A and B are shown apart, each in its own frame.
Chain A
Amino acid sequence: MPLRLTLLPAFLLTACVAVVAAGADPAVTRRTAGYTLGNIKLTREDGKNVVLADELNDSRPLVVNFIYTSCPGICPLSSQVFSEVQHQLTASGNHVHLVSISIDPENDTPAKLRAYAHKYAAGPGWNHYTGSVSAIAATEQAFGVYAADKMDHAPVTLVRKKADGPWVRFDGLVTADMLIREIRGESQAGTPPAAR
């Protein structure tokens, strides 16, 4: 019995760690950021090999996120938000370039990206990209979202209103209206309800 008691604190500690992880506040934070992309070559969903910097050299406002097609939780939500952003901005006559970059390049072939885009009713102006393992790693590193394992990825969304403007980075489960307000230059009225 004494031995059993000495072991208990270890288990309490384990339990506490789990609670902290569960209680981590995923509310959205917003900050401006600068990124240098270099000469990263990716493959678009139509199979065309492209230079990422050229793809992003765009007169339209840009919104970038990171997904993988077999992702069960965060990515479907993130893609739904993109779908809504595209729907609302297109309806109001604003053009935006949505860019979704796969972080599981060995699995996510252009064909899989096309099927994924179709699932979220992606229209023209919403592109999906994959590439070699090293090119995708370089992309993740360039945008400060690198995770050695795809399942460790955190939700990050990037917005750039003008080609020569700064990036705005959202960490957390961003909503469609937050992105639309950012693109339209409206102030952000707080963050969504603290999630648990």
Chain B
Amino acid sequence: MRRATAIACGIIATLLGQVSPGVASPASQQLTAESIYREGTLPSGTAVRAKRDIGGQIVSMEGAAVACANCHKRSGLGSIEGHIVSPPITGKYLFRLPALNAQDLTMPHVATFRAAHPPFTRMTLARAIREGIDPDGHVLNNLMPRFELSDAQMALLTDYLETLSPTTSAGVDSETLHFATVITPDVEPTQRQAMLSVLTQFFADQGRGEHLYFDGKLIGHAAEQGFADIPHLNTQRKWKLHVWELSGAADSWEQQLRSKLAAQPVFALLAGLGSAHWAPIHHFCEEQAVPCLFPNLDVPVLAEQDFYPLYYSKGVFLEAGLMADALRVSLTTHRLQRVIQIFRAGDAGVPGAADLRRILAPSGTAVETRQLPAITATADAAERAATLAKAVSGVTGADALVLWLRAADLAALPSSPPPGVSAIASGLMGGLERAPLGAAWRPVTRLSYPFDLPQNRALRMQLPLQWFTLRKVDVVDERIQSDTYLACVILAGTLNRMSDAYVRDYLVETIEDILGKRPTNAYYPRLNLAPGQRFASKGGFVAHFAGSEGTALDADGDWISPPD
């Protein structure tokens, strides 16, 4: 893409005479045909202008509102919204004979493809873009703006469409789809094993290639029958998993990932496991245009303008929103005077606590933080208990205590909470309903719970749990394993929909399209994405333990979707 950008810049410079040929300033390198297509911005930096007949008046529009990619998508492979179809507009689909897919086995199948019109020429395409008339003379509907583009700009855009999503993305060969999962060095070995046990088994299940049936009988697999070279007859390639374990300091991870990608191209990153530092992986995915699908994380990167990284939720940032909602009520009704946040240096509670402080700031609430030292290899139980006892000392019934603590720290809290205190703990960090709070803490501690409650999800969880049983996967960390299984299932469903159009951008777009249509999603009541939405589950509960022991929880109120 970078190379294409550079070439396009050269073309712009020559065609438009806005920059002397051969002189490519950094600014001009950004102003490409890609920006006409994606952003609605001309090489000069001004907005693309277009008109639309909305009845009664022709209105002018410009810029991002008329960017081609809004409807035809970044991949150019089109979209379906309701019953309105925006067809694929890459060169392959525009300029070819109106072959039905089966008559042209080199043409990937996309659901938006229309075979009804004759192929465009550069001239009829320009007429469609400017006047909204297709090669047959039919008027395109008024969703399609009528663009004001000069001949030079039209040539740029047409050249861009000719080369958009031309071939299968890297990481896909005639028999195999390559995926990687990234594990950062700071994760618990049990979590690593939990995730890998699911991925390994799921990939083994996908390894047999496409089943071929004849008269209802299984007669073999596509690869065995020699159909591997015919894209349409091998739409379910084998999946191969590459485990990318990072090492050393976080500032070296991006370079490690680039090296791994160069050595083994992959179509996407799937699941993955990280602790408090995911930014290097996020940046790698965005820079290298590699989709990064639903990693197991407490601290995702909040950058919804980025395209390739997709997350289940905002993790601790979502919890901060849930906690703020609960605290607003208790601060008022119980006249609490101070919020005290306890977290460990270097852990997910640091950004969580900072975000809660940010959210509470406009209310004028006093927020105090007590940071515990990072856990060291030599720390023993007595030391841990002493640190926690010190952290809660001086806390009174007029304080709200916020516990951004892992399970081991929750278990090491002093057996008696400060008299009269009310606490709220990060469920994500503390182990959700299995949070090992002492008996005296349970009645006074609520949990932020950024998932559906156990009783609500029980039916949905039968799918992953039965799969674990059938596939003999030991359940050692139910949430990580369930989320990993769900990521695999979402990917499988997406690839199924994509048929043989293996284009990375189209993978992300197809997930955006199908995610909200999935009937069940394990821990999540709903998953939803859209352009500019990169966190699929957007809410959660605040809950409390239903009894003095056990894992039963009751919600304090309804599902909450906190504002940003």
Contact = CB atoms under 8 A, between A and B. Distances in A.
A175 B83 CA distance: 18
Interface string A80-93: 11001000100000
A97 B142 CA distance: 25
B513 A151 contact: yes
Contacts of B113: 15, 18, 22
Interface in B59-114: 59, 61, 65, 70-71, 79-87, 100-102, 109-114
A153 B116 CA distance: 25
Interface string A38-52: 000000000000000
Majority secondary structure of chain B interface residues (helix, strand, loop or mixed)? loop
A77 B82 contact: no
Interface in B194-235: 212, 214, 219, 225, 227, 230, 232-233
Nearest to A81: B54
Contact of B528 (A107, A111, A195): A107
A22 B83 CA distance: 8
Contacts of A18: 109-115
A149 B109 CA distance: 24
Interface string A52-81: 000000000000000010111110110011
Interface string B475-486: 000000000000
B141 interface: yes
A176 B87 contact: no
A72 B84 CA distance: 12
B136 to A, nearest CB: 9
Nearest to A70: B530
Given A22-B87, A23-B116, A195-B140, A74 B81 contact: yes
Q: Looking at chain B, what size class is its interface with the partner chain?
A: 35 or more
The A interface, classified by DSSP as helix, strand, loop or mixed, is helix
B114 A19 contact: yes
A22 B112 contact: yes
Interface in B223-282: 225, 227, 230, 232-233
Interface stretch (B401-409, B417-425, B555-563): B555-563
A26 B531 contact: no
A21 B109 CA distance: 14
Nearest to B111: A18
A21 B82 CA distance: 10
B539 A77 contact: no
A70 B55 contact: no
Contacts of A195: 139-143
Nearest to B558: A132
Nearest to B65: A76
B57 interface: yes
Contact of A12 (B71, B100, B143): B100
Contacts of B138: 196
Contact of B81 (A14, A106, A151): A151
A176 B538 contact: no
Interface residues of A, number: 59
Contact of A80 (B54, B80, B115): B54
Contacts of A84: 54-57, 59
Interface string A132-152: 110000000000000111111
A149 B518 CA distance: 9
A176 B56 contact: yes
Contacts of A23: 114, 116
Interface in A89-112: 104-107, 109-111
A24 B54 contact: no
A70, A150, A192 — most chain B CB neighbours (10 Å):
A70
Nearest to B117: A196
A22 B530 CA distance: 22
B554 interface: no
Contacts of B564: 109, 111
A154 B85 CA distance: 11
A192 B54 contact: no
B294 to A, nearest CB: 18
B532 interface: yes
B185 interface: no
Most buried by A among B111, B112, B212, B528: B528
Contact of A106 (B56, B233, B528): B528
Interface string B527-562: 010111100001100000000000000000011010
A148 B530 contact: no
A111, A149, A153: most-surrounded residue (chain B CB, <10 A) = A149
B118 to A, nearest CB: 13
Interface in A1-25: 3-4, 6-8, 11-12, 14-16, 18-19, 21-24
A76 B87 CA distance: 18
B134 interface: yes
A173 B116 contact: no
A71 B84 CA distance: 13
Contact of B533 (A7, A107, A154): A107
A3 B215 CA distance: 11
B52 interface: yes
Contacts of A155: 82, 84
B526 interface: yes
Contact of B532 (A70, A149, A153, A193): A70
A63 B296 CA distance: 45
Nearest 10 A-B pairs (CB), nearest first? A175-B55, A195-B141, A149-B516, A11-B102, A154-B82, A177-B56, A22-B114, A106-B538, A177-B55, A70-B530
Given A74-B143, A173-B143, 8 more contacts: A4-B230, A15-B101, A15-B109, A18-B113, A72-B71, A106-B539, A149-B516, A151-B512
13 contacts: A18-B113, A26-B83, A71-B530, A72-B81, A72-B531, A76-B65, A80-B59, A84-B54, A106-B561, A109-B564, A173-B84, A192-B142, A196-B141
Interface of A: 3-4, 6-8, 11-12, 14-16, 18-19, 21-24, 26, 68, 70-74, 76-77, 80-81, 84, 88, 104-107, 109-111, 132-133, 147-155, 173-180, 192-193, 195-196
